[in-house]
Amino acid sequence: MTETRATKGDFTAVVTANRHISSCFYKLILQFSEQGAQAFAQTMPGQFAQLDLSGTAPPPAERLNEQQADAVQRGIILRRPYSFCEVTTKDDKTTTVEILYCALGPASLRMTTLKPADKITVLGPLGNGFSIPQGKNTALLVIGGMGAPPIQHLAGVLSMEHSDIYPLVFAGAKTKSKLPFEGRIDEISKEIGFPIHAFARFGVESQIATDDDSAGFHGPVTQCLSQWLEENEVSAEQTIIYACGPEAMLAEVARIANAKKIDCQVSMERRMACGIGICQSCAVECRVGDSGQTEYKLCCKDGPVFDAKEVVFHLEKNGHKL
């Protein structure tokens, strides 16, 4: 008789590290054992988990600026959804997940106080991750700022498990210090190379783009992608684009992919309460085939990764940032 393999659930995770990386960026490393280890060992890049941080203490006031101090005064009840930048398992008995986060609001600022041996409960893995269709030989991975973690996870999986696919990363940010990567970032040329250690260690090439010309290509990452596609002959059929970042960036990546008839998957972000398809908070407007009609799908359950052709991107509606 075989035991039923745990696929998802609410598990206790032990913190093994939580370190400051640069500017507002931190990396939290969590370890699962037993059923949690089994469940999270199967995590696909782009899937996420709901972290319960309601019992985590806020940082001491002297470490905070005024805005942060106001933010942590607010109590939190909802869990927070995070995807992973790396997942590793030892025989399904111990699974380690790495979360790269930006400490900004009431929950993420609390998260900075977690220390090794602390325990939190984590619901997951949830949602649908990136998929890797048959017949692809080139994967273009496009990052906008905090969209980096799931793309980093994907780059690792592609390089280790899909040697037939050439992965190339385009990582964009407003400025060099807003590139959310751990490890050294080398002297950055305007060319493709190995400037980001987080990718270089897998032998994955990357190109950086910054809005302010503080590093790499000067301009939006989407322009960088466009230019690369103009200069390099790729078979549209054998190429796939994966993207995670602000919705305006995803919309532009989707437009570029569509014009070139290249498959494209985007990882969307929405405010979520439950993360499991119950609360209906995280609506993403999607096209219904070619009918001209649209419907709302749920970011948590139908996504967060969607086929770019399906999504109706909302850049700003009635002055509401989405």
270 near other proteins (CB under 8 A): yes
Using the contact rule CB under 8 A, the part of the chain among 23-31, 187-195, 231-239, 268-276 near other proteins is 268-276
Binding mask 8-47 for other proteins (x = CB under 8 A): xxx-------------------------------------
Kindly tell me which residue out of 94, 202, 279, 287 binds other proteins, with binding defined by CB under 8 A. 279
Least distance in angstroms from the C-beta of 309 to other proteins: 20
322 near other proteins (CB under 8 A): yes
246 near other proteins (CB under 8 A): no
Angle between helices 221-231 and 247-260 (to 10 degrees): 10
75 near other proteins (CB under 8 A): yes
Structure tokens at 157: 């999986």
* Distance separating the N- and C-terminal Cα atoms of the chain: 49
In one-letter notation, the amino acid at residue 192 is: I
- Count CB atoms within 10 A of the CB of residue 317: 8
Kindly tell me which residue out of 72, 188, 244, 274 binds other proteins, with binding defined by CB under 8 A. 274
Using the contact rule CB under 8 A, the part of the chain among 25-33, 58-66, 204-212, 279-287 near other proteins is 279-287
Q: Which is nearer to other proteins, 98 or 247 (CB)?
A: 247
Kindly tell me which residue out of 283, 287, 307, 309 binds other proteins, with binding defined by CB under 8 A. 283
Helix (H) or strand (E) holding 88: strand 86-90
Number of residues that bind other proteins (CB under 8 A): 34
261 near other proteins (CB under 8 A): no
Phi/psi for 120 (5° steps) reads -135, 160
Interaction residues for other proteins, span 123-162 (CB under 8 A): 123
Q: Which is nearer to other proteins, 109 or 168 (CB)?
A: 109
Least distance in angstroms from the C-beta of 125 to other proteins: 12
Q: Are 309 and 287 in contact (CB under 8 A)?
A: yes
69 near other proteins (CB under 8 A): no
Question: What is the β-pairing status of strands 9-22 and 94-102?
Answer: unpaired
Half-sphere exposure of 128 (CA within 13 A, CB side): 14
Phi/psi for 34 (5° steps) reads 50, -125
Kindly tell me which residue out of 160, 184, 271, 315 binds other proteins, with binding defined by CB under 8 A. 271
297 near other proteins (CB under 8 A): no
Sequence length of the chain is: 322
Residue 284, helix vs strand vs coil: strand
Using the contact rule CB under 8 A, the part of the chain among 151-159, 212-220, 236-244, 314-322 near other proteins is 314-322
Phi/psi for 204 (5° steps) reads -100, 130
Name every residue whose Cβ is closer than 8 Å to that of residue 68 and which is 6 or more positions away in sequence.
Answer: 109
Place of tokens 């019992």: 55
Interaction residues for other proteins, span 77-96 (CB under 8 A): 77-79
237 near other proteins (CB under 8 A): no
Q: Could you give the CA distance from residue 241 to residue 257 in angstroms, rounded to a whole number?
A: 7
Structure tokens at 162: 């899909």
What burial class does residue 116 get, using C-beta atoms within 10 Å of its C-beta: 0-12 exposed, 13-18 middle, 19+ buried?
exposed
115 near other proteins (CB under 8 A): no
Residues near other proteins (CB under 8 A) are: 8-10, 52, 54, 74-79, 123, 270-274, 276-283, 295-296, 314, 317-322
